[in-house]
Structures are given as C-alpha cells and as structure tokens.
Structure 1
Amino acid sequence: MTAREQQIGLAQRVGRFAAGLTLADIPEEVAERARHLILDAVGLAFVSADRDFAEAAAAALGPDSPTGSAGAGDSPVLGRPERLEARDAAVLNGVLVHGLDFDDTHIAAVTHVTASALPAALAAAVRADRGGDELLAAYVLGVEVAARVGLGGAGHFHDSGYHPTAVAGAFGAATVAAKLGGLDADGIATAQGIVGSMAAGLLEFLEDGSWTKRLHPGWAAMSGLTAASFARVGWSGPPAVYEGRFGLYSTHLQTAERRARPEAVAEGLGEVWELARTAVKPYASCHFTHPFVDAALLLRREGADPARITRVTAGIHPVPGKVIAEPLDAKRTPVSEYDAKFSLPFTVAAAFVRDRFGLAELSTEARQDADILALARLVEVTDDPESAFPGAYSGVLTVELDDGRVLTHREQVNRGHDTRPLTNADVVAKFRENMAACADADDAVTARVESAVLGLGKSGDHSPTARQFAEACSSAPR
C-alpha cells in the first residue's frame, strides 16, 4: 500500500473498490460458491416461511401493520407470496434466512454474512431493475465488506455485548445498496458513514431466548438501504466511520479497543475473497455449539452410553462461553427453541441421548425430555486455553462413566470451517432436505428454485434478471 493510499479513509477505500467491481472481477470458483451460499439461504427461507416468527414478522411488515406505515409493494419475498416495499422485504427476507439460526457464518468474523447481504442486494437490485450478474456481484461485495468489518473486531463484539451480524451486516448492506443504486465511490463511502449510526444489535436476547436476534440481519439490510437512500440525496456522513475517534471500533469495543483492527475493513479487497472462508452450518443451532455436538456424537459411537454418564466437562473459550454457557443453570433448562439453540449443555445432552442433532432435537418434546434434561444437569464448563477462537470454533468434551472410564474428544476446528468445508454438493443436499420439509415446496418448486439460483449471473439467454430470480424464489411467482 502506498503512502497516499494510507491517507485515504477506510470507507473511501471500500467505496473505490465497490464502485468498480463487476462479476468479471470475481474468480469463478468464488462466484460458484456464492451461488451455493445463496441456495442454502433460500432453502432456509422456504423452511422458515410458515414458522410462528415468520408469520409475526410478515404481520408486522404487511399492509395490515398496526402502524399503518407499511404496505404492499413490488419486492418479492423468499419462500412466501407477499410483495412488499423494498425495505420491508429486506427485513422479512433477513428474518426468514436467519430465523432458524441455520444460516452461514464467516467464522473468524463471527458474523452471519448472507442473512443481511442477500436481502439487501435482492431488494436493491429488484428496485433498480438490475441483471442477475449485478445482483450476484453485489451479494459477493456485501459478504466481503461485512466479513471484514467483523474481522476488524478481532472476535470481541460479543464480549462487548454486540451481535456482529447486526453491526457488520449494516455496513455490507449499505455498500451493496449504494452500488446498486448507482452511487459513485464517494457516495458509497458516504452511505457507510451514515449507516454507522444505525449499526447495533444487543445480545440481551441470550438471557431469555427473545426473538430480537432473528431481526438483526434484516434490520441491518434495511439500514443499509436507508443509508444509501440518504447518501443519494446528498446527506453527509462521517468519512472516518470506522477508524475515527468516535468511530465504530472506538465506540462498540471500548473494553477491547486496543485489540481491534480497523484496517481489516479494507485489507485485501479484490485479492483475498472472504466469501470463500464462509462456513455452511451442519446444525440449526449457534455455531459455537457445533464442535460440542460433533464431539458428543463421536464419543457416543466410541462407547459413551448416555445412561452411564456421570459427568460431562466442556472446555470452551470464554468469549463464546458467555454466549452458550452462561448462566449455566439457565442454559441447562432452555425455555424455548431459540434458547435451546444457544445452550451448550442442552445441545450436548440432546446429541448424546438422541444420537443425532436436527430440528426435532429443538422441539418442545425434546426440551421436555427427562433424559436430555437430566444429562444437561451433569454438564460442567471450563475455560479452554487451547481454543482456536476466533479463527475457528473449538470444543473439548470429557465424559466420565459409571464404570470408571474417562473418554475425551477435542474438535479443534469446527466442521464447516473453510479448512473443513461442506462441499457444494453437501450444500445442494442440505437445500433439498430443507425444501422437502416445506409443505408448499414440491419437486417442481425445488427444481425451479435450484435452477434459478445456480444459474444466477451465468452467461446465456436463460440467466435470470434480479426480478426474475426473486420471483422464482418466492412461493407464488408471477
């Protein structure tokens, strides 16, 4: 980097990169992985579409909203028949993609990236009547920016009580919306400056399993669209929104400011593709629980009969430990499905007892299973000094059995991590399995959606435009 480049603010550097980016600049293997990450997200939207949280969100955003400020529009909704105003569609799409906590995560950034980047790109591309190639490139851009903003926090947003998906996602969404809205590099930088005042998301939901986390990525997408609209009419925003005295990292990471890396926001743009490091989830629970679920399943196969376990000790880094292991007594008896997703003791116990971990293991019946709850009460938690967090999500389980045996297994790098990725074929299989669980998605619907997503941005007359893609991925295409 030249001395002149070092003098340019981080938002401006992102703006310059974003303004010039086209699909041709993105390596084909990255673009193809992007299509599969989108496929995963769309499948999750379909399987979420009739859940109670989806119905509630649709009611809050639809034409019969109690506020009277929302209403019908022309932006399609993933997996549902509604057509909403662009910002409302972005919120609902974010809820649908993220609502089951089964969506992808950039591991080192500790950020769900697709859940905000896709809704923002989709709403902005449909509104501006963009092509499928522009939609795909903008989605990749949103992932790249959100991941880098999360990386700048060096794994400490959670430690300060902020959900990085909400915080980092807002900046990615603003960049996407400004680019698709036709703004130049300065305008894209300004949109980032504006959205900095909207970037937030509290972790207090962890105390009782409240639904606020489900809203975070969609709200980030809406914030990005709003910031871009203000930038478009000449509204100003602070140029040092990341690195300034009262910028993102100084304010949001006051207890860990010295460990933050604001420079990560613009590092390696166009050279290192963070999308390729994004992990697809094998389980519908907080990503921090995954190494423990896999460890429990392996130990069970090695002879850890759950009926004979007398003690379970789980070692975890203290930052993710705050999320899934504190307060421990409450985590042992989750009060809702969402609460269970963020419980180390419960997910471990359910995996041991059921010898699997799927959506059924988060049901009311599972949460009331006496065997699961009894085993969850035997789980103790300790710090893990060998954890790879935040570079990977690590977990070590030790079980003591009634015959005196002690079995231990460490998952140093969680499955799905870029060094242990789910393949594109695995993603397709997950998508089809999720679509098979949807009452409104028969084989024809599944094939239609899969074709639209995997054909996105590819050359030829059959490549869908952004609107055609969005219509194909709704449950009632026009």
Structure 2
Amino acid sequence: MAERTLADELAAFAAGTDFPDLPAEVTDDVGGRVLDVLGLCVAARTLPTSQAVLEYVAEQGGAAQASALGHGLPRLPAAQAALANGVLAHSLDYDDTHLPSVLHPSASVVPAALATAELAGADGAQTVRAVALGLEVAVRLGMAGYDRQAGNSTFFEHGQHATSICGTLGGAVAAGVLLGLDQEGLRDVLGMAASTAAGIIESNRTGGTVKRLHCGWAAHSAVTVAQLTARGFTGPPTVLEGRFGFFEAFLHGTYTPTEITEGLGTRWAVPEIFYKPYPANHFTHAAVDAALELRARGLAPERVESAVLGAPAPVLRTIAEPIEQKRTPETGYQAQFSGPYAIAAAFCGPGNGLGVTLADYTDELARDPRRRDLMSRVEVVPDDRATEIFPLQFPATLTVRDTDGEVWYAEVLANRGGPGRPLSPAELGLKFRDNTSGTLSREAAEATRAAAGRLAELPDLRPLLDPLITVPGPLPDTHSPYEGR
C-alpha cells in the first residue's frame, strides 16, 4: 500500500469535513471574512488597476456563470469573475492577515469560493464549508514554510508571495469541494493547483502594481484547475513533499510538515486570522493605535515636539527606511507603508470609521503640510520588546515629548483585529459601511451585511451578492486597446 502523502492528508480532511463538522467559531467567522472581502471589492472599484481588470474580463465574454462585483457587468465565466474580484480584494492592502505566516488568505480563497458557488448553485452552508476549508489549507501551507527559528517566512526570503502561492491551493480546495470532488479529486486539485501557483514580491521593493494581480490570479487559477480536475485532469499524489514537488520548488526542501498535519480538523487556524482595522501595511497598525491612545488622552498634534516610534527591528526596512522618504510620502500608497505617516494620520484625521480609514490615505493628504510637519518630528527605532514578540504580533511603542516638556507614552503589544483584540460584528459592519459609503445605498449595504451574518442559512448567494452587482458608476470600456495596432 502506498504511503499516505501530505496531499492525501489535506484531501481527506477536506472531503471528510462536512458543514455540521465545523466548529461554531469557524462558521461564525467565515461570514465576517466574506463580508470583509466584499467591502474591499467595492472600495477598490475606482482604482486604475481595477478598471483595467474589469475591462479585461468584460472583453473576454463567455458563459454567464458568476458575478464581478461593483460594475453592473453581465455575468462572466467563473474563473474570470474570480480574477476580477480577487484583484479588487487585495488592491487596497486592507485584507486580512494570518500571523506569523504573514499571508493574506481571504483575498484569494473567498473570490474563488464565491465564483464557484455561483457556478455550482451552492447554498450558503456549502459556501461557508468551502471557504473554511480553503482558508485552513492556505494557512497551513503558509505555516509549513514559516521558519520558527529565524522568525520569518522562507517564501519571502526567496522573493515569493506566500499569499498568492498558498492562496491558489487553498482556493482550489474551496472550489473543488463546491464542485463535488471526492477525496481523490481533491488530491488531484492540489496537484494541479501547485503547477499554477505564482507570485514574486520584487514590486514591494522597486514599484509596480503587479502585486494587486496576485490574489486575482490565484483565485482564477483555483477555479480553473478545479473545473479541469472535474473534467478528468489529474495531479501527482506527492505534489507537496516530492523530489520535484511544491516544497522543493518553492522552499528548496526546507519546510515543516507537522504544520500541515498536527491538529488538522480539530485545531482550526481560521478564527485566528487577523482582520485589518486600518487600510495600511499591517506593520503600521500598532503605531496607529498608540497615537490614537495618546490623542484620546488629550495630546493634540500641535503639541508634539518630538516622537519616537519603537517597532520590531525586522519591520524597519518596510516602514522606516529610508526615513526621509517615509517622512515625505508622495502618494497615499507610499503613506500606507510609512511609520511616521501612521502617527500623523492617527493624530490629524477626523477619527472616522475604526480610527483611520481609506479617506486618510489619499495622495493629497500624503503631501499635506500639517501632516508633513508632524512626520518630520517622528523618529522610528527598533524596540527590543517588540522585536521579541514579532512576528506573532506587530507591536509598537510611542514616546512623545510635548511642547511643555511633558513625556507621553503608549505601548500596543497585541494587534487590534486579532484573537487577543478581536473586532466585534458591529466593528466589522462599520468597516464594511465605510468601505461602501458613497457607492452603495444604505439599504443595499445593510442587505449584504445582514446576508453575510446569516450566510449559512441562505438557500443561494443572491441575497449576498445582488446588492453589490449594479452599483452606480460607468461600465468598463470594453474597447480593446489593441485594436488598430
């Protein structure tokens, strides 16, 4: 008898876990994940990259199977809808994060699951099951590539985007269960998905918008390979640990198989995924919280003489270097990766939403003289205690000397939105309403929020998705940019 492989383990878990087997905390959590992704898709609809991908999928045409959200497009082939929604879900750096793997699982898995659920005519309970299984697979694969001794992801050290790579396999499992694949079929879908997984993070260093494509391509690949597997394509049973398999190809054979197998089906990672309360790089969130705390205690930005932000040493290259550039971001996107700007946004903004919102991260505000003045007085340094906790959390300390010589101090050792400081359903609803404000009517937003709250009870996904399909705004221009060339 052949030895049971890691793909066998994951396939048996997915095939053998029905909706009634899911713990209540998992089923409750999935509705929030879906709502979060839907709000992000609506919020990202006006970005040039969003317009580009929506124009592209509209131009392709094809079978009317699933919905690209936010533009009133005709229904599209499921893989094309997953592509569009996955791009939008990841485009604002506002999607959830698993720690310490530092991958963003929902932006790939949820679009893949929703598109396939529409294709298959699945009900809410089937969709919840698929999302839960896909998220669990993605996270466990990400953790298998996490080096606990080094405190870092081996994927990232190799320049690979664990989010889209592991998200492809997780999304494929979600799509596969919705298409009714059995255990052998789910093993094949993992074998297929591994050959389509991709994502290189050089754009984090030197620019480009390709990172926004990663989760969309992962969702597109996931739906595609699930449909092809249902039609008879197969994959290698040793796709993960084999000599020329996933872990050898991506991680040079350095991985921890027990991260996949231990507690599989009994210990769930899904409820431990961190929501993002703020639309910025996750390394800056504790800085926002610390500044909001000092502001609530009565410290006004005009009274800040100097400020020292303490952060884990490994994150300084992302949020603090080079410091003069981080103090003078030119765009809202650059501001999302700036420790000094996180302090300025928390002190100077109106405090809407959960504290800072997308409206705080515009190109204009990145160059706002008042915020620039405050940023010029912020120093960012490594903090030993924060470094010790990282990457289980992304802590921060903030020490401010005011114009009267008084010293103010705040420390945030656990991230808001994680298991230690969870967002309540009301707070998730507030984030959703903020992301859809000005686009969805109050009635449409409330209809989707209510549907997500009872997702497992829905006979189909129409109550969840229909309010988001035909929002105000022009349809993408389907005129091909290549015509006449």
Q: Which residue of 1 aligns with 2:340?
A: 345
In the TM superposition, residue 262 of structure 1 has moved relative to its aligned partner by 3.3
Alignment of 1:33 onto 2:34 = no
- C-alpha change, 1:303 and 1:253, in structure 2 (3 Å) is farther
Q: Take 1:308 and 1:253, find their aligned partners in 2: how far apart are those partners?
A: 50
Shift of 1:209: 5.1
Where does residue 100 of structure 2 map in the other structure? Answer: 108
What's 2:359 paired with? Answer: 360
TM-aligned CA distance change 1:253 to 1:323, over 3 Å: farther
Q: Residue in 1 aligned with 2:398? A: 397
CA positional deviation for 1:302: 4.0
Structure 1 Cα separation of the partners of residues 309 and 125 of structure 2: 46
Q: Deviations over 1:165-196 (max 9, x none)?
A: 21221110111122222222122122222222
Cross-structure match for 1:182: 180
Alignment correspondent of 1:407: 408
CA deviation profile, 1:333-384 (whole Å, cap 9, x unmatched) = 3333222212222222222333642222211221111222233233333333
* Residue 170 (structure 2) aligns with: 172
Compute the displacement of 1:464 (Å).
2.8
Q: Kindly provide the CA deviation profile for residues 414-448 of structure 1, in whole angstroms up to 9, marking residues without a partner as x.
A: 1111111001222123223333x133x22331233
The answer as to whether partners of 2:329 and 2:367 remain within 8 angstroms in 1 is no
1:89 aligns with 2:81: yes
Amino acid at match of 2:285: H
**1:295–1:137 CA distance, 2 compared to 1 (3 A):** same
Please say if 1:74 is aligned against 2:65.
Answer: yes
1:279-312 CA-to-partner distances (Å, cap 9, x unmatched) read: 2221111222110111122233445543343443
Give distance in 1, aligned partners of 2:372 and 2:246: 41
- In the alignment, the residues of structure 2 paired with residue 160 and residue 27 of structure 1 have an alpha-carbon distance, to the nearest angstrom, of 36
- Report which stretch shifted further, 315-324 or 423-432: 315-324
Q: Give the 3-state SS of the residue equivalent to 1:382 in structure 2.
A: strand
Where does residue 479 of structure 2 map in the other structure? none
Mapped to 1, the partners of 2:55 and 2:434 lie a distance apart of: 28
Q: Hey, what's the Cα distance between the residues in 1 that align with 2:382 and 2:237?
A: 40
SS in 2 for 1:73: coil
Secondary structure of the structure 2 residue equivalent to 1:105: coil
Aligned to 1:225: 223
Structure 1 residue runs without a partner (length 5+): 64-68
Q: Partner of 1:448 in structure 2? A: 447
Give the conservation status (yes or no) of the 8 Å contact 2:66–2:116.
Answer: no
Counterpart secondary structure, 2:66: strand
Aligned equivalent of 2:295 = 300
2:194 equivalent to 1:196 = yes
> Which one is further off, 292-301 or 382-391?
382-391
Cα drift, residue 13 of structure 1 = 0.4
Structure 1 CA distance for aligned equivalents of residues 406 and 169 of structure 2: 51
Which one is further off, 17-26 or 96-105?
96-105
Task: Give the 3 Å change call, closer, same or farther, for CA 249–345 of structure 1 in structure 2.
Answer: farther
Closer/same/farther in 2, CA of residues 101 and 297 from structure 1, 3 Å limit:
same
Instruction: Provide closer, same or farther for how the CA distance between residues 404 and 342 of structure 1 changes in structure 2, counting only shifts above 3 A.
Output: same
TM-score for the superposition, normalised by structure 1: 0.87
Please say if residues 36 and 454 of structure 1, whose CA atoms lie closer than 8 Å, have aligned partners that are also in contact.
yes
Which among 238, 245, 252 is matched to residue 250 of structure 2?
252
The 3-state SS of whatever aligns with 1:414 is: coil
Alignment of 1:352-391 (within 5 A): 352-354=347-349, 356=351, 357-387=356-386, 388-391=389-392
Alpha-carbon contact 2:41-2:89 (below 8 Å) kept = yes
Alignment check: 8 A CA contact 2:327 2:341 kept: yes
Note if contact 1:16-1:185 (Cα within 8 Å) is conserved in structure 2.
Answer: yes
The reply to whether residue 214 of structure 1 matches residue 206 of structure 2 is no
Following superposition, the deviation at residue 268 of structure 1 comes to: 1.9
SS at match of 2:180: coil
Q: Corresponding residue for 2:5?
A: 9
Q: Which whole-Å deviations, capped at 9, do the CAs of 1:302-325 have from their partners, x for residues lacking one?
A: 455433434433332344333333
Given that residues 128 and 180 in structure 1 are in contact (C-alpha distance below 8 angstroms), is that contact kept between their aligned partners in structure 2? yes
1:312–1:397 Cα contact (<8 Å) kept: yes
Letter in 1 for 2:138: A
Alpha carbons of structure 1 residues 198 and 335: separation in structure 2 relative to 1, 3 Å: farther
Call closer, same or farther: CA 1:320–1:246 in 2, change over 3 Å. Answer: farther
* Structure 1: distance between partners of 2:408 and 2:243: 50
Q: How do residues 35-74 of structure 1 correspond to structure 2 at under 5 angstroms?
A: 35-63=31-59, 69=60, 73-74=64-65
2:127 corresponds to 1:128 = no
Post-superposition offset of 1:26: 0.9
Change (3 A) 1:409 1:470: same
Instruction: Check conservation: 1:107, 1:393, Cα contact below 8 A.
Output: no
Give, in angstroms, the shift of residue 110 of structure 1.
1.6
Contact persistence 1:242–1:249 (CA under 8 A): yes
Q: Which amino acid aligns with 1:138?
A: A
**Aligned partners of 1:351 and 1:252: how far apart in 2?**
39
1:242 aligned onto 2:240: yes
Of 8-17 and 345-354, the range deviating more from structure 2: 345-354
Distance 1:128 1:373 in 2: 52
Name which of structure 1's ranges 228-237 and 175-184 shifts more when overlaid on structure 2.
228-237
What amino acid sits opposite 1:313 in the alignment?
Answer: V
SS in 2 for 1:380: strand
For 1:409 and 1:107, locate their aligned partners in 2 and report how far apart those are by CA, in whole Å: 23
Give the CA RMSD over aligned residues.
Answer: 2.7
Q: Identity, % of aligned pairs?
A: 37
Change (3 A) 1:312 1:241: farther
- Residue 204 of structure 1: how far off its partner (Å): 2.4
Give the letter aligned to residue 75 of structure 1: A
In structure 1, distance between residues paired with 2:449 and 2:50? 22
CA distance in 2, matches of 1:305, 1:159: 41
- Judge conservation of contact 1:242–1:262 (CA < 8 Å) in 2: no
Cα deviation for residue 136 of structure 1 reads 1.5
Q: What is the CA–CA distance in structure 2 between the aligned matches of 1:293 and 1:346, rounded to whole Å?
A: 9
Aligned to 1:66: none
Q: Is the 8 A contact 1:449 1:472 kept in 2?
A: yes
TM-score, normalised to structure 2, is 0.86
Which amino acid letter does the alignment assign opposite residue 146 of structure 1?
A
